[in-house]
Structure formats: structure tokens, C-alpha cells
């Protein structure tokens, strides 16, 4: 995608006062909702350019290529926006798991009998993968 | 669900400084992501009590039962939370369409050749449904 075209798409979006927009990552094959992270304009640009999901890390205050440490990259197959243009939806091929805790999806807690019950599918060992507890 | 139990689940969540948490509504059958709205603690409580999705309307500053005007209610089949407990995922049976523009999903814009291209499925006429343009 040409830079000029990308800018038009980015300009149409409503970033918040910190220049961020939430992006939902969804498994393109299964439809499973994997995670929600934030993008700034640069993260969206990098995502479009490379075909791999980039986000803005609010804790580390830096651009973050998903999977740069864990190898669990997201190959982006489709980018969608909602009617208010203030949320993005990425349909991705998720390598490994999306969740830093080792689950395939971050949404691994179900409300059951009034408590959040962990029922996610573990696909990697985070201690081993990140080399720390 | 008993009020006491609900409170435990609510207390575990990270609401923002306005007391709100984003909630993604996903079609329980097709997996389609339908919309994102905000809940406060009361909206979550009402959702659990009634089995129908309630949100907090930031523009109208009031509790909002999804579909109260349009009839397009969301019957909630499952409530999930992410690993940070700062986003909710509702798996719903969506009556009619989720989007106030008449689409089944709010995510009816796809990024194609650098522009947002409307490609959603229209399921109702918003002018007719809401009695206004």
C-alpha cells in the first residue's frame, strides 16, 4: 500500500487524545477473539506495510511488533473498522498463542457462578518462552 | 446470580477512571464481532440479572438496554474477561442487527486499496426503525 493511500485511511480514524485506537485481534479461521491492544498511527502503518500486527505498548511506551520476543506473530489477513471509526478489528493468523500467559486467547476467563474461571487453552509455557517467571 | 457473587466478579475487573470497561459483543453462533460498547458496574449487573446486554451510553450519560428502541436486543449466552481483566467479551444471540446504521455488525468497513470500503450486511432500515433520518 502506498503511503499516501495509507494516510487517507488513517486520517479517517478517531484516535483518542493519546493518539491511540483499540484494535481487536480475531483468529481469521476459527473466529476466536484473541486479544485487544492499542495502535497509534505508526503501528497501523507498520502493520499495513509488513502484514504483521504492530501495536503501541502503553506500559513500555514503544512500538511493539506482536511476537517480537515470543515468536507468536500475527499475520494480518484483513483490517476492519467500526461505524464510529474508533475501533479496529484485525483478522489474523495467530502463530502460537496471543496471551502472554501462554493461552491461545487472552479471553481465557469465563464468568461461572459469579467468579472468573480460567478455562483457556494453554499453547506454550511463558516461563520457558520469555526466559523468566 | 446472587448479588454478592456478582459483586465479587465485578470487583475483580479494572474499570477505567470513569468507571467504565469496554465490552465486545460477538455472535455466539457465527463468531462475528458485532460491536464494542462500554459497561459500568451497574450495566454488567443488569446484564447478568436479565440475560440481556446493558451498556453505559457515554453520549446520553445513561444506562442503555441494547435494543430498547430498535428491538435489536442481545441475549447474552456467555461473559468472558481477558487476562488483564480490563476488557469483557459477551457471546450473544443478536436479534436483528447490532449497528445503528442497519448492519448486522458495526465492523462493516474493510480496508481495501487504502480506503475504508462499506461491505456490511444490511438487515434493517434505520430510518424506518428509529423513525428518523
pLDDT in tens, B3-59: 444 478 899 999 999 999 999 999 999 999 999 999 999 999 999 999 999 999 999
pLDDT for residue A60 is more than 60: yes
Angle at A25 between CA A22 and CA A26, to 5 degrees: 140
CA atoms within 13 A on the CB side of B61: 1
pLDDT for residue A46 is more than 80: yes
pLDDT in tens, B52-91: 999 999 999 999 999 998 999 999 999 999 999 999 999 9
The reported pLDDT for the residue numbered B8 is: 85
pLDDT for residue A133 is more than 70: no
Confidence class for position B132, pLDDT limits 50, 70, 90: low
The minimum CA-CA distance between A17 and chain B, rounded to whole Å, is 15
The reported pLDDT for the residue numbered B7 is: 79
Confidence class for position A132, pLDDT limits 50, 70, 90: low
Cα A75 to Cα A32: distance, rounded to the nearest angstrom? 15
The minimum CA-CA distance between B63 and chain A, rounded to whole Å, is 20
Cα B51 to Cα A130: distance, rounded to the nearest angstrom? 40
Task: Average the pLDDT over A80-95 and give the result.
Answer: 98
Interchain proximity A109–B81, CB inside 8 Å: yes
Interchain proximity A83–B109, CB inside 8 Å: yes
Between B104 and A133, whose confidence is greater?
B104
Contact assessment for residue A82 and residue B35, using Cβ atoms and an 8 Å cutoff: yes
Interchain proximity B114–A5, CB inside 8 Å: yes
Contacts of B111 in chain A (CB under 8 A): 9, 48, 78-81
Cα torsion for B72, B59, A21, A3, to the nearest 10°? Answer: 90
Interface residue of A89, A119, A122 to substitute, partner B, most B CBs within 10 Å: A89
Q: What's the mean pLDDT when you consider all of chain A?
A: 93
pTM of the predicted model, to two decimals?
Answer: 0.93
The minimum CA-CA distance between A34 and chain B, rounded to whole Å, is 9
Amino acid at each position: 500500500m502506498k503511503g499516501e493511500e495509507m494516510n487517507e485511511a488513517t486520517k479517517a480514524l478517531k484516535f483518542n487524545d493519546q493518539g491511540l485506537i483499540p484494535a481487536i485481534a480475531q483468529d481469521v479461521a476459527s473466529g476466536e477473539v484473541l486479544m485487544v491492544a492499542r495502535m497509534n498511527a505508526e503501528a497501523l502503518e507498520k502493520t499495513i506495510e509488513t502484514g504483521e500486527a504492530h501495536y503501541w505498548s502503553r506500559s513500555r511506551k514503544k512500538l511493539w511488533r506482536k511476537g517480537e520476543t515470543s515468536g507468536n506473530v500475527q499475520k494480518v489477513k484483513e483490517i476492519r473498522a467500526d461505524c464510529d471509526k474508533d475501533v479496529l478489528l484485525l483478522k489474523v493468523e495467530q502463530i502460537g498463542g496471543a496471551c502472554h500467559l501462554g493461552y491461545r486467547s487472552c479471553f481465557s476467563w469465563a464468568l461461572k457462578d459469579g467468579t472468573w474461571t480460567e478455562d483457556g487453552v494453554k499453547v506454550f509455557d511463558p516461563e520457558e518462552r520469555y526466559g523468566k517467571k
